[in-house]
Amino acid sequence: MIGKSVIFKPNRENLNLYIILGGAFFTLGLLDVILNSLFKANITSFLPLNFSFFTPIFFGLIGLHFIRIEFSGNKILDSINKNINSNWFNALLTLLVIFLLIKTTPGLLNWLFFDADFIGVSKEECSREGACWIFVYVWFERFIYGLYPNEEIWRINFVFLTLIISTILLAYSPDRLKKYFLIFLLISPFFLWKLILSGGNFGLEWVETNAWGGLSLTFIISIFALLFCFPIGTFLALGRRSSYPVIRYSCIGFIEFWRGVPLITVACHEDLTASDLVGRYLLEGDDTRWVDGPITRATKVGAICYLDEVVEARKDTTVLIHPLTDYRRLLPVEKRGELLEAADGFILVMSYNPGYQSALKDLKHSTRQRFIAIEFGYPDRDQETEIIAQESGVDLTIASELAKLAEKVRNLKEHGLGEGVSTRLLVYAGKLIHQGISPRRACEVAVVWALTDDLEVQRSIEEVVTSIFEE
């Protein structure tokens, strides 16, 4: 009994003995795994198969047990016992990780290097069982740059090289110059990516953002996240702990609004019924099942419910929102005999284009007066020019001419034109021009014919187009 207690209860008094015993048993288990994995040799083959399979774990656990001595005075040993050998469970996990690495590493190295194909010009030349590095080599540019034009790849390299050099200069420059490099690093990405990567200026070809991709796009998104998200997140985190109520509640409101409020959108049309908004019973086999409509879901969870082009819906349908939009904040669900109270955070938003209104399609005064109204007009000429250039890919000169066309056509509303030309139609025309269609033809199909079927009004718009685009 004394002998057993001495052997199986390690202590500081026989530290060297336990380290030798523990190291021997652990090495034996490790050697068993290595020989079996690398050389297909089993030193415990004389044992039954089931027992032989677990002998490395058995030897390893005994070895780790012998060195599990609290406050041994040896810094390395104490660190091992504290982090990976504090108890039987941690010891078992440690052994499993070590043995798994030993067993998988040789196969992984064979696949990556020894059995891999490195020489060739196409993936069809990969004849071995390992990795096909030829494929990676052939498609390397696509992995890095996505669909960015090959002849323009230098622009990506230039931008990232500029940022890398600036970062190095920031790290090793004198203290009096660091702030200038820091300011440059903060503001330069926006100009570099707008002017160099996107192009469209200084003789550089415009490159659509859908052509960006690969590892370079990952870096761009990461840098933007660091430049925008991290500072803003830090400011909001500090602001919500501010002692000033205005700052604190503004930050809390912003965080809670964007973090926790979903958006439910409903495209309104003339066949939209109250059941489409509130919900209905559906047949499911021999049973019926109730399915909540979008406005019911929004009411329950406190979401934003957006009714797009609400004037297109029947007036008897939109009436059901009245109890939700006054002091009551209630939604009657008549088919279930329920009266739902709107959850905190519920917001009802609706929109419509006043140009679509007529005597038969107008918003009821009782509905209109339950909302705060915000009117959106057309953007000014300079702003619209930038939008057209950005969205269509045309240069600023063509975009400016299209914006000028929009101003002139919108003035024709007083002469029989029901609705002015939208920015959307100008972008369509710009895309056609960018694809090689003549400006006059592009404006004809995207603007003139899209606005009206009245031949007299079409001729008036065509005269405006001719006065701006001579060819």
Grouping H, G, I as helix, E, B as strand and the rest as coil, residue 52 is: helix
Residue 124 lies in a domain: no
Question: What is the CB neighbour count within 10 angstroms for residue 400?
Answer: 18
Instruction: Evaluate whether 295 touches 266 at the Cβ level (below 8 Å).
Output: yes
Per-residue pLDDT tens over the stretch 441-465: 999 999 888 888 888 888 888 888 8
Runs of H (alpha helix) within 206-303: 214-224, 230-239, 245-260, 274-278, 294-301
Same domain, 431 and 399: yes
Residue 388's pLDDT is 92
Q: Looking at the structure, tell me whether residues 357 and 417 fall in a common domain.
A: no
Model confidence at 383: pLDDT above 80: yes
pLDDT at 471 over 50: yes
Count CB neighbours of 230 within 10 A.
10
Are 218 and 285 found together in one domain? Answer: no
Q: If you average pLDDT over each of 113-127, 245-259, 300-314, 360-374, which comes out highest?
A: 300-314
Is residue 116 situated within a structural domain? no
CA torsion through residues 207, 210, 216, 217, sign: positive
Out of 86-95, 176-185, 381-390, least confident range: 176-185
Domain count across the chain: 4
Are both 231 and 169 inside the same structural domain?
A: yes
The reported pLDDT for the residue numbered 415 is 61
355 and 414 inside one domain: no
Q: Could you tell me if residue 118 is inside a domain?
A: no
Report, as an integer, the average pLDDT of 393-420. Answer: 83
pLDDT for residue 4: 46
225 domain residue, yes or no: yes
Q: Choose among 221, 203, 197, 220: nearest CA to 148.
A: 197
Burial of 229 from C-beta contacts in 10 A (0-12 / 13-18 / 19+): exposed
Pairing of strands 263-267, 304-308: parallel
What number is the average pLDDT over the span 73-87? 86
Task: State yes or no: pLDDT of 33 exceeds 50.
Answer: yes
Q: Do 156 and 184 reside in the same domain of the chain? A: yes
Q: Which tokens sit at 412? A: 């024709």
pLDDT in tens, 319-333: 888 888 888 889 988
Three-class SS state of 130: coil
What's the pLDDT at 416?
Answer: 62
119 in any annotated domain: no
132 in any annotated domain: no
pLDDT grade, residue 32 (50/70/90)?
confident
pLDDT in tens, 407-446: 888 887 666 666 778 899 999 999 999 998 999 999 999 9
So what's the pLDDT on residue 426?
A: 92
For residue 51, pLDDT beyond 50: yes
pTM of this structure? 0.43
pLDDT for 3 equals: 45
pLDDT confidence of residue 348? 92
* The pLDDT of residue 428: 92
Last residue of a domain, one of 335, 368, 401: 368
Q: How confident is the model at residue 109 (pLDDT cuts 50, 70, 90)?
A: confident
| Residue of higher predicted confidence among 471 and 14 | 14
Report yes or no on 210 lying in a domain.
yes
Question: In the prediction, which pLDDT does 8 show?
Answer: 66
List the domain range (segments joined by +) for residue 360.
Answer: 263-368
Do residues 6 and 105 both lie within one domain? yes
pLDDT at 2 over 50: no
Is the pLDDT reported for residue 144 higher than 80? Answer: yes
| Residue 65 maps to a domain | yes
